[in-house]
Structure 1
């Protein structure tokens, strides 16, 4: 557990992302590498200069008034090997934290996810083309990526087929709103579910889509002290929303005859598809690949084991152990190591 409950539990790492320091990394429970920016593939993480005040600039090790943006292609991740090295480095900085990799739901994402699992990520997020903040440019909002259902189904099937699924916590996000969304996500293979837009609305966001202008009328996405006074949200609003989501999940699970969410993860055969396939708009479309269930033991279809990270006997740990006296009590130590 952390000594500071007010810190962000999940810290994101993208290339060119400002302020990613050792201190930033050790104060986290999850370190998420962004292979897909924001809610969309392509550009993201953009903060216009006029929103970069003294506090933001100090936090991000930058200069007030200067735009902050993560460059669209991740120039430091050319290959799965580069990603593996980054995961290894992050694990060394903060062995307690899980390393997550965020992927955009696109055709072929399953193959990428298999590589990410082999690179020893603890957690993979498949992010659909819906959801996201109201500040993304229009070019990033429409037709970028694919629905989360398609990317998730492909990822689940690919990981199970390659015997990689059990060591990955698989999360899905992208405009999830209801308990029904959660159950469909679980049936398609997700262990975890990312909610952002809906709880944001629960605390008072009214989707004026002005996040980038610093003029948010309800004081959510702004650094302006006058506007921030208007913020009326409370944690209870979010808690209440999630109680309703959880209640709906319970009801649907009961109707499926299941006691726990774990029992239905990856059970795509439980999805009722007749009504959809018979609809006139679905004529000529083949959905069989989305609903396919790869035959495997139940244990191999959801997250049941930890990734094995080769960080137990590295040189750093031996050096820290031997230098402990110097680090803690400033008593000089001398030793040789190879």
Structure 2
């Protein structure tokens, strides 16, 4: 998922720096629903005090599904302290969530799932009575396949062959599909028996009927003296017009998407690959432009997308959030204007070009052009921005090549691949958690080091590379095959050549005066660039190169002569 380099350590799990509020979550849900309208968008929450309030926000953010996860269960890769002390029992979180949703008339429009230690049919029935529509099983199903809960899932040493890539250990795996089928058959039969005893014919009849739960035995037990389950088991009186289980769809507002018009105009390209050019005005109410179009392309062509430059769209105006999200290969968006947050989120091979209007009077390299969290989780493609980006530029970038004329705080955070060129100043904490890819920063004031987080990277000067530059004209054809920048170069060398080509592309796409100045005075500006290289990434690349050379040397060559 992260498109990382083998042998490079990762920060796991990575922080989700695209979500800081319910509004941010709502935008992410909207993005995902646009790229795949048929998908159910699910949000997972930890069972804890206050989870009901968060679940209500999730429902208002138009999620189709929410999961309440209890403290029990959990992956064997989790620290034992987290498994034992993080979160609370699923019963508490589920009861609070169901009650909050019902009291706010939100329960009908979202499905509630519960997981975290469910093992028996009785657990399913209790969960349904507390308000769950769906039930998640993980650990119990793994045990039915032979898991011994050694908690070595992340070490590649699983003794039963369940969670390992070691071919010898995988031979020890004795699980069969029939084992899992039998387990769930027993669970289902127990559920049916308990439903019959309680007088329910369907699951929907049972959901939220707390009055059928009896807690007297637990209260009488000496360990539970003083325990008050009244808040957990209190009966709700929602009224006849309030739903207590999921029975209505969410309204995602997809019918308002600008992409419907784009898809209609791009049908010749989608159906038969004919090149299409489109011109379209845009405003900040148009969110997630390009995602639905890219989803349609992916349905037909997969991640490979279309041929380069098959669909070209020229926008004018101010784009809303998530402009160009998940943009597919073969699609190019050009925007004369500016854009909000999340530009190029999940970019999947497309090209984004954004520059200020020709009539604007401000200096682009000194003004914000695009918002925060640009290129979050982007996989491949290229972007050229004639202006300054906000905070967290290229956070979690996994393979996109981009040029920008300045960034805010936390640039290239948690980046695992790709190339970033910054033709101006950066904010603080640049490259925090950066484990892959490279960045080139123009450091005219010679103080970039104090703004760079040096925990995982090192700064390198860019040598003149006279020999490489002499071959520039010869290499340019390979680097720009089909109009795309080749990012498969050796990232440990050819820096000056690579940098020159990218700035040259930036000039061609955006007509940037900043790029023109640098190229016209290349000998003066090249020494001012600093290369940001993750330490582990460089080591991994060198090891792969060494291995490749050894393989080439051990090859057998046979000469045949007269």
| Fold agreement, TM-score > 0.5 | yes
Identify the residue that residue 284 of structure 1 maps to in structure 2.
Answer: 226
Deviation string, structure 1 residues 257-288 (Cα, Å, up to 9, x no partner)? 11111111000110011112222222222110
Using the TM superposition, name which of 168-177 and 133-142 deviates more: 133-142
2:115 alignment partner, one of 153, 173, 176:
173
Equivalent position of 1:99 in the other structure: 41
Shift in CA distance, 332/143, structure 1 to aligned 2, threshold 3 Å? closer
Q: Does 1:321 align with 2:268?
A: no
- Establish whether residue 211 from structure 1 lines up as the match of residue 160 from structure 2: no
- State the shift of 1:161 in Å: 0.3
1:266-285 to structure 2, matched below 5 A, reads: 266-285=208-227
2:150 aligns to what SS in structure 1?
coil
TM-score by length of 1: 0.80
- 1:305 matched to 2:248? The reply is yes
**Quick check: 1:330 aligned with 2:273?**
yes
After TM superposition, the structure 1 stretch with the greater mean CA deviation from structure 2, 112-121 or 281-290, is 281-290
> Take 1:333 and 1:153, find their aligned partners in 2: how far apart are those partners?
54
Match of 1:147 in 2: 89
Per-residue CA shift, 1:180-216, capped at 9, x if unaligned? 0000000000000000000001111111221122111
Aligned to 1:45: none
Instruction: For 2:103 and 2:191, locate their aligned partners in 1 and report how far apart those are by CA, in whole Å.
Output: 28
How far is the alpha carbon of 1:71 from its aligned partner?
A: 4.3
3-state SS in 2 of match to 1:158: helix
Asked if the contact 1:171/1:194 (under 8 Å) is kept, the reply is yes
Residue 98 of structure 2 corresponds to 156
Which blocks of at least 5 consecutive residues in structure 1 are unaligned? 1-18, 20-59
Partner Cα separation in structure 1 for residue 151 and residue 275 of structure 2: 58
Instruction: Give yes or no for contact 1:203–1:237 (8 Å, CA) kept in 2.
Output: yes
Higher mean alpha-carbon deviation, 159-168 vs 304-313, is at 304-313
- Tell me the CA shift for residue 316 of structure 1: 1.5
- CA–CA distance in 2 between the matches of 1:237 and 1:187? 28
Q: Which structure 2 segments of 5+ residues have no match?
A: 282-562
The structure that has the greater radius of gyration is: 2
Give how far 1:332 is off.
3.5
Number of the residue aligned with 2:132: 190
1:258 maps to 2:200: yes
Q: Is 1:199 matched with 2:141?
A: yes
* Higher RCO (CA-CA < 8 Å; seq separation 6+): 1
Q: Distance in 2 between matches of 1:252 and 1:244?
A: 12
Q: Does the 8 A contact of 1:157 with 1:293 survive in 2?
A: no
Is 1:85 paired with 2:7? no
Cα pair distance change 1:312/1:228, threshold 3 Å: same
TM-score (norm 2): 0.48
**Displacement of 1:225:** 1.5
Moved more, 131-140 or 173-182: 131-140
Cα distance in structure 1, aligned partners of 2:141 and 2:91: 21
2:51 paired residue number: 109
